Structure 1
């Protein structure tokens, strides 16, 4: 890509006023090293040399940069490494250099096209697909409203902006750090990874003030994907610290608007035509009403590709003698007898259910979860009295969705997976074990997150992303690593 490729991060920071900060009279070498690293990363283009010992003659460059940092955050500008300054340095924050007013990346990279494509590669389980689609489209629209770019969503292939939800080390040398801290990052415009935007799946994504608001974080990250760096204006969208504000009718703030228009120009309005500006010399004859244009037929959503190397299951379970794999409103059935793989829409079999987050088989019924409720089904019939709320299982109100579930036949217990935690349920007594939840990695060594899980021939199969682990649950050990598509009878 042309120019320097830079990625951006935006994080939750609790902003407080630090008055009367207490100076650190004798900073430790560890404190000096941390301060040096912080100032070098965020407030200097060439790095800051911290003193090996606290001597006045060696503190000049360090102190000057420290004052810049204190001024940026509204602290007392002392040039001393006081407790208030150290407290700010210890807060999670954005990973790019801070700037004054709006700013652009070095070389001012931009999209040299009028139509920029984007693709949502995978979805967070915290929101429905429709909610994610809407939040992403709305976040891009605040830019297309003011600059001459149009954003087009594509269902497959490589887009200019590839959007995904990932956790931990995800292959771009900018690993996410778990809950809180880093929320997301994006690359500046260009080839390859240019414009790509990643959201930390370990966060709780919402459309409200709770958790991390997907629209606000996406709007900030897309500013970086347009070529914008950070602003020191606290009311700007590109200010490096995340704060929530009402998103109803949200418009791009003036500072951000000026910055992005400095790159792309102003979106033109349609000029008046000669026909609308000249006064007619005589009263025109009325024209017949034009025939209304036919309603465009929307392009059908592509069917899930069972042989894709990137196949991610929404859920999986055994039902009778077959295995069922759920994906985007559809399911594949793999029979124990050789009938090949059959695919159906979920609602064609169970009309009440449109999407499956998790499912498990217990005795002669299957429990199916969607959002904060569940059904019990037998064959093609949903049992009477359903859906019911998750709290019936004993989950607290904070659990809004189940990632995966399986009934483990050797212990005769049902396991539920919610983010990084595991819950254990006694089907006979119909209650949750009091010693749960526990961390998955403690209860099931070698497993940390689960998208889907099922039991087959004595083993549990844990899927996360496109990868799957064959697991001996009684011995708590991994047998082998597979791909989800290995079950799909692909060449």
Structure 2
């Protein structure tokens, strides 16, 4: 997820400061002068990280095409221009996994067995250990209650899914970016770090609406660990952008259920169940 930035724009600093109107009509102005508009200078980086734009395909046409692809995915008006709605989406906190994939799931990896273990390697200082344990446990429950999957926590040995909090460069070629935007990333099932989930320690993690809710992000990342890619369904847990939802009454979308059951099958458990994060009773409902 290495970042690259190139202006590719012959416009003057003054022109680049004209605002969204000038940028909308200049596809090359997707990365402009420092101090122009918040988020503009990271547009090329965004398209590279999440839409497979490469340093060898950064022509005006390819940038236009990737912008259209991104806009279509997020349900925006497809213009191929960096308009204000597109910039707003790009500035939102989100998962670090890409939104497009060039592979089919069965040929890319083997999904986990029905009994899978996980380990929390380290803890964020933002929450007490009990709150982290509850958030991660409940995030796994989201998926085990709609599939035959069962998850067991281990405390020392290497687990199928290793969960850790890390900052910036942390050894997997996918560095975090500090507070904001990229919140976490995970790896599809496979050898080595396959299945692991990493959370950006530079975020402020919480058990409520303050900061970033750990349960919501963990449930999303575990979806990746189990083999799901991003969904363009705004109601889906696997939608890439973060939006706080009250865990009390959290509802997994039909899209999430359909896709995870395509990999692992259906659960014989009740469709409605409860769990208990610290300090509150949470009722989790699964959409039929």
TM-score (normalised: structure 2) = 0.72
SS at match of 1:199: strand
Q: C-alpha distance in 1, partners of 2:205/2:83?
A: 35
Spell out structure 1 runs of 4+ moving beyond 6 A.
45-48
Q: Which deviations, in whole Å up to 9, do the C-alpha atoms of 1:425-454 show, x marking residues without a partner?
A: xxxxxxxxxxxxxxxxxxxxxxxxxxxxxx
Q: Which runs of 5+ in 2 are unaligned?
A: 2-19, 33-40, 271-288
Superposed, which structure 2 residues align to 1:159-178 within 5 Å? 159-178=159-178
Superposed, which structure 2 residues align to 1:239-258 within 5 Å? 239-258=239-258
Per the alignment, residue 43 of structure 1 pairs with 51
Per the alignment, residue 21 of structure 2 pairs with 22
| Distance verdict in 2 for CA 1:43–1:111, change over 3 Å | closer
| Distance verdict in 2 for CA 1:98–1:157, change over 3 Å | same
Q: C-alpha distance in 1, partners of 2:53/2:268?
A: 37
| Distance verdict in 2 for CA 1:79–1:130, change over 3 Å | closer
Residue 115 of structure 1 and its aligned partner are, at CA, apart by 1.1
Residue 50 of structure 1 and its aligned partner are, at CA, apart by 3.4
Q: C-alpha distance in 2, partners of 1:242/1:131?
A: 20
Residue 230 of structure 1 and its aligned partner are, at CA, apart by 0.1
Matched length? 242
Q: Which deviations, in whole Å up to 9, do the C-alpha atoms of 1:304-353 show, x marking residues without a partner?
A: xxxxxxxxxxxxxxxxxxxxxxxxxxxxxxxxxxxxxxxxxxxxxxxxxx
Q: Are the counterparts in 1 of residues 99 and 230 from structure 2 also a CA contact under 8 Å?
A: yes
Report the aligned-residue RMSD. 3.1
- More strand per residue: 1 or 2? 1
Q: C-alpha distance in 1, partners of 2:67/2:178?
A: 29
Q: Are the counterparts in 2 of residues 104 and 229 from structure 1 also a CA contact under 8 Å?
A: no
Q: Which deviations, in whole Å up to 9, do the C-alpha atoms of 1:59-117 show, x marking residues without a partner?
A: 3x4433332222333433223344554554455543333259xx974735343422101
With CA pairs under 8 Å and 6+ residues apart, which has the higher RCO, 1 or 2? 2
Residue 43 of structure 1 and its aligned partner are, at CA, apart by 3.0
| Distance verdict in 2 for CA 1:43–1:139, change over 3 Å | same
Q: Which runs of 5+ in 1 are unaligned?
A: 1-5, 7-20, 52-57, 271-491
Per the alignment, residue 124 of structure 2 pairs with 124
Q: Are the counterparts in 2 of residues 164 and 198 from structure 1 also a CA contact under 8 Å?
A: yes
| Distance verdict in 2 for CA 1:48–1:266, change over 3 Å | farther
Per the alignment, residue 384 of structure 1 pairs with none
Q: C-alpha distance in 2, partners of 1:144/1:83?
A: 40
Per the alignment, residue 156 of structure 2 pairs with 156
Residue 126 of structure 1 and its aligned partner are, at CA, apart by 1.7
Q: C-alpha distance in 1, partners of 2:78/2:69?
A: 8
| Distance verdict in 2 for CA 1:125–1:87, change over 3 Å | closer
Q: Are the counterparts in 2 of residues 117 and 159 from structure 1 also a CA contact under 8 Å?
A: yes
TM-score (normalised: structure 1) = 0.44
Q: Are the counterparts in 1 of residues 53 and 63 from structure 2 also a CA contact under 8 Å?
A: no
Q: C-alpha distance in 1, partners of 2:135/2:42?
A: 37
Per the alignment, residue 261 of structure 2 pairs with 261
Q: C-alpha distance in 2, partners of 1:113/1:82?
A: 45
| Distance verdict in 2 for CA 1:79–1:198, change over 3 Å | closer
Per the alignment, residue 226 of structure 1 pairs with 226
Q: C-alpha distance in 2, partners of 1:83/1:157?
A: 48
